[in-house]
Amino acid sequence: MVVIPSILLNGMPLAYFNNLVAITNGQVVIQAANSPITELTIDSRNKTITQFPLFFAIVGINHNGHDYIEEAYEKGIRQFVVESSYNLSILEKFRDLNILQVIHTVEALQQFMVFYRSKYRLPVLGITGSNGKTIVKEWMHAFLSSKYKTVSNPSSYNSQVGVPLAVSLLQPSHQYAVFEAGITTADTMAKLALLIQPTHGLFTNIGPAHSQGFRDITQKIEEKAQLFAHCSTIYYCKDHQLIDETLLRLYGTQTTFVNWSFYNPKADYLVVREILATKTKLQIIASDTDNTFLTSFQDNASIENITHCLVYLLHNGFDPGQLQRSLLQLKSIPMRITLKAGMHRCQIIDDTYTHELASLRIALDFMQQQHYSYSKQTVILSDIVQSSTPDQELYKELALLLAKYAIHRFIGIGPIISQYATLFSMPQSIFFGTVEDFMQNKPFFQDEVILVKGARTFRLERIVRAIEKKCHGTVLEISMRSIRNNLSYFRAQLAHRTKIMAIVKASAYGNDSEIPAALQRHGVDYFGVAYVDEGIYLRNKGITLPIMVMNPTYDSFDAMVDYQLEPEIYSLELLDELSAFIAERAVQKINIHLKIETGMYRLGIEEGAIDQLLWQLKELPNIHVASIFSHLVGAESKEHDDYSLLQAKKFIKIAQYIERHLAIKPLKHLVNTNGLLRFPQFQFDMVRLGIGLYGVGVDKTIQSHLFPASTLKTIISQVKQVQKGETIGYNRKGITTQDTTIATIPIGYADGFSRLFGCGKGSVVIHDRYCPTIGTICMDMAMIDVTGIKVKRGDEVIIFSAEHSIDELAERIGTISYELLTQISQRVKRMYYT
């Protein structure tokens, strides 16, 4: 059961207890007072938050609400609706009760809410369909909220009981409502339609299979479409031909239809989708408008869901620019769900983060929408932990849920789920006590879509790893936990109010895409990138925090404004260009960051130019100085401490001068990772952390506090015995001085394994032993001397890891970990571990 959010606290009462008699045809059997009803609940475990909740004792398949009335009373609930079969004498010991008796509590709940709903006049969007309802509803809520105070179903509360509870959240202050409705049998939508009374309707899609409760797909569509009986407008995708035909047949004369299509020019909106490297471009064309949007989603299901939202909102006059901004900020429900390519043409839906029934429903929904091109669906689930429902009931509910989704194969992992094996009635169901058992008897997967979802303690990511498609063998593994730990370490070095700017230039130091979102979740305050494209990339990844761009150019200002990025201003010329730009584009406000030259002589405004700068800034009220900063050149070593101190002094002087003359209080920041470690006294308002977040690149004395986050590894492709005196590789550079075993590994300088590591300068780790390179490094491969070590094809080879320091490896060829990390090429697959 789901907790209904606490928005009734200061709201109007839904009704008074005595009103219920007329509304529900019920009978008051005990009454202490005619109290207001301020909230509805059906589950004694949920916390109520207002003073006068009303408990409906609902009789479900596995659950009888009447059994929980005493418990609810203990928790302070005094008003109840019960069925006539309930034995009232149980309540004799209780005082202050209001009891209404009805024939059927679900019906009474619905009647009450139909009455309540009819008091409101507001635009209500009703959503139904087979898949995507909950996500479209959540996203629509997010979009609409930028303009209207919006209410919608909590979670996936879309059933005969869920919908009335959702409707009870309506308050006079709401300007828009979005309610989804789901049905499993015929003749049930009409009731939900009365409850929702949508003014507009949206049909998401229809699943290919017809399910038990319906005669065929057409009947299913007809039944679902009952929701729209009184809508003025219905929105849908014309590519679902049956939906198109059925809606036209049912409502042809009385209703306006707004439809869209990926290919049919007859649709009201033609949608052209283009999959780019990391995002999708959606061009939405109508007779008189043409708008293009970018989203970081690429899978079919999300694209369909987003298009539904965009078409609806465009059609209702939403500003495309605002839509694009909201689109970037969508906190997608399935954001934690990632789609991965699996072995043997499988697709993996990786949701190994949380596990309860509500989120499982969403994941299953997502799977159904993905699966059209796959004939088989497999679900792998762990035990559900931390549920307050008794196991028996919980797993029964789980099995029922899965049965609804027509799963082909079910794999349960864990001792508890295995106990309830008989509940699961899929064509094939297999159970393993542990992940290790699964690994030892791994089932075969081919041409199927596989949902993997489990409680975190089960670490089902190990299963995902095992069934994932293996690339050319070289991977960069990144431990999110290590990054989190490093962040905590740095935070402990900071004063309470000091902010953290995470520097994620060069694809987060080569570590790539998942890192910024994780850092945002873990509470950094700002992001810093080198180029505008990197900033746009972050926005497309759902980053909503402010982003500073360190190398802005004139032609990037447009994108800066569109994506709310904040340029570093390092010269008067650049400021001139910016001011010309904002005048031309009539920009209301832009945040900038003043970079002060204090001794690096790279980019920065020199002391002599400061007065001129101030004079200009005073004339530019639309330009807001968000921060003043500079950068230390010698923070890594003690020998430059004097110079660092001079830089700091100069920075303080100039920053204070600017603050005084402009009467502003921007953030001040000076130090990077090593700057903070060496000079914590110069943390000012913010620190800029880069390399340290990855747990490398710091002084040896600090290293033991940090966790190196990245592991670069590969496998052995071939092993050869070579006699003494032969030469290995190009230009015969490697000469065997004895009979030698050579292992060839699929990583070369094009992957980021520098050519400088050749001829024994570099080494790799195989079976815990350092093994030198032999001969030159090739573009895609390298040869390793493994003489005396028992190795075979497929064995793991570590280039660097937490135990085998990248800093030491870098030192061998006279460079630093920053360079090695950022040189790892895009063709090396990244894998993230939590």
Per the annotation, binding residues for substrate are: 602, 779
CA atoms of 298 and 783, how far apart (whole Å):
38
Choose among 616, 567, 618: nearest CA to 594: 567
User: What is the token pair recorded at 734?
Assistant: 């490697």
Give the H or E element holding residue 700: helix 700-703
- Residue 673: CB minimum distance to ligand PLP, A: 3
**Among residues 417, 435, 451, 503, the one that binds ligand PLP under rule CB under 6 A:** 503
Our CB check for ligand PLP shows the closer of 638 and 660 to be 638
Contact letters for ligand PLP, residues 445-464 (x by CB under 6 A): --------------------
CA atoms of 814 and 799, how far apart (whole Å):
17
Size (the chain), residues: 834
**Among residues 691, 771, 791, 810, the one that binds ligand PLP under rule CB under 6 A:** 691
Contact letters for ligand PLP, residues 630-649 (x by CB under 6 A): -x------------------
Sequence-distant (6+) residues with CB within 8 A of 299 are 339, 370
Our CB check for ligand PLP shows the closer of 377 and 630 to be 630
Our CB check for ligand PLP shows the closer of 31 and 551 to be 551
- Residue 651: CB minimum distance to ligand PLP, A: 13
Choose among 77, 70, 81: nearest CA to 53: 77
From the list 132-140, 406-414, 456-464, 689-697, the region that binds ligand PLP by CB under 6 A is 689-697
Is there a catalytic annotation at residue 372? Answer: no
Choose among 461, 481, 482, 509: nearest CA to 816: 509
- Residue 500: CB minimum distance to ligand PLP, A: 11
CA atoms of 810 and 338, how far apart (whole Å):
33
**Among residues 368, 673, 736, 741, the one that binds ligand PLP under rule CB under 6 A:** 673
- Residue 821: CB minimum distance to ligand PLP, A: 10
Helices and strands of the chain, counted as H and E runs: 27, 41
CA angle 318, 303, 283 (to 5 degrees): 55
- Residue 694: CB minimum distance to ligand PLP, A: 9
Our CB check for ligand PLP shows the closer of 170 and 696 to be 696
From the list 184-192, 353-361, 611-619, 688-696, the region that binds ligand PLP by CB under 6 A is 688-696
Q: Is 348 helix (H, G, I), strand (E, B) or coil?
A: strand
Scanning residues 519 to 558, which ones bind ligand PLP (CB under 6 A)?
Answer: 550
From the list 322-330, 464-472, 687-695, 786-794, the region that binds ligand PLP by CB under 6 A is 687-695
CA angle 209, 211, 213 (to 5 degrees): 155
User: What is the token pair recorded at 735?
Assistant: 């000469």
DSSP characters for 407-421? Answer: -SEEEEESHHHHHTG
From the list 150-158, 371-379, 387-395, 668-676, the region that binds ligand PLP by CB under 6 A is 668-676
**Among residues 692, 708, 762, 775, the one that binds ligand PLP under rule CB under 6 A:** 692
Q: Does 593 bind ligand PLP (CB under 6 A)?
A: no
Q: Does 817 bind ligand PLP (CB under 6 A)?
A: no
Our CB check for ligand PLP shows the closer of 53 and 690 to be 690
Our CB check for ligand PLP shows the closer of 550 and 798 to be 550
Alpha carbon 179 to its chain's center: 23
From the list 366-374, 559-567, 683-691, 720-728, the region that binds ligand PLP by CB under 6 A is 683-691
Scanning residues 92 to 131, which ones bind ligand PLP (CB under 6 A)?
Answer: none
From the list 151-159, 461-469, 586-594, 684-692, the region that binds ligand PLP by CB under 6 A is 684-692
* Strand runs labelled E in 423-507: 428-432, 448-453, 475-479, 499-503
From the list 50-58, 138-146, 350-358, 671-679, the region that binds ligand PLP by CB under 6 A is 671-679
Residue of this chain nearest to ligand PLP (CB atom): 690
- Residue 661: CB minimum distance to ligand PLP, A: 24
- Residue 613: CB minimum distance to ligand PLP, A: 19
User: What is the token pair recorded at 216?
Assistant: 């065929």
- Residue 809: CB minimum distance to ligand PLP, A: 18
- Residue 509: CB minimum distance to ligand PLP, A: 7
CA atoms of 811 and 631, how far apart (whole Å):
24
User: What is the token pair recorded at 691?
Assistant: 């390399």
**Among residues 240, 688, 713, 830, the one that binds ligand PLP under rule CB under 6 A:** 688
- Residue 526: CB minimum distance to ligand PLP, A: 11
Our CB check for ligand PLP shows the closer of 324 and 683 to be 683
Choose among 318, 265, 316: nearest CA to 293: 318
Contact in structure between 398 and 473 (CB atoms under 8 Å): no
Catalytic residue among 16, 263, 372, 730: 730
Choose among 817, 578, 558, 825: nearest CA to 699: 817
Choose among 57, 462, 139, 123: nearest CA to 326: 139
Only one residue has tokens 């923070």, namely 635
Our CB check for ligand PLP shows the closer of 338 and 703 to be 703
CA atoms of 790 and 696, how far apart (whole Å):
31
- Residue 669: CB minimum distance to ligand PLP, A: 8
List the 710-715 sheet strands across, edge first.
Answer: 769-772, 763-766, 796-800, 710-715, 475-479, 829-833
DSSP single-letter state for residue 468 = B
Our CB check for ligand PLP shows the closer of 28 and 603 to be 603
List the 290-295 sheet strands across, edge first.
Answer: 150-152, 176-180, 124-128, 200-203, 233-237, 256-261, 269-275, 280-285, 290-295
Sequence-distant (6+) residues with CB within 8 A of 625 are 591, 592, 593, 594, 617, 658, 662, 664, 666
Q: Does 689 bind ligand PLP (CB under 6 A)?
A: yes
Output the known binding site. Answer: 602, 779
Our CB check for ligand PLP shows the closer of 160 and 672 to be 672
Count residues contacting ligand PLP (CB under 6 A)?
Answer: 12
- Residue 674: CB minimum distance to ligand PLP, A: 6
**Among residues 690, 708, 734, 775, the one that binds ligand PLP under rule CB under 6 A:** 690
Our CB check for ligand PLP shows the closer of 167 and 565 to be 565
Contact letters for ligand PLP, residues 334-363 (x by CB under 6 A): ------------------------------
Is there a catalytic annotation at residue 353? Answer: no
Cα 494 to Cα 223, 637, 670, 671, 697, distances in angstroms: 60, 21, 14, 12, 19
| Number of C-beta neighbours around residue 559 at 10 A | 16
Contact in structure between 166 and 179 (CB atoms under 8 Å): yes
Our CB check for ligand PLP shows the closer of 549 and 774 to be 549
The amino acid occupying position 806 is I
From the list 35-43, 357-365, 428-436, 672-680, the region that binds ligand PLP by CB under 6 A is 672-680
**Among residues 105, 307, 672, 711, the one that binds ligand PLP under rule CB under 6 A:** 672
Q: Is 404 helix (H, G, I), strand (E, B) or coil?
A: helix
Catalytic residue among 224, 279, 453, 505: 505
Active-site residue numbers? Answer: 505, 730
The residue ranges that bind ligand PLP (CB under 6 A) are 503, 505, 550, 631, 672-674, 688-692
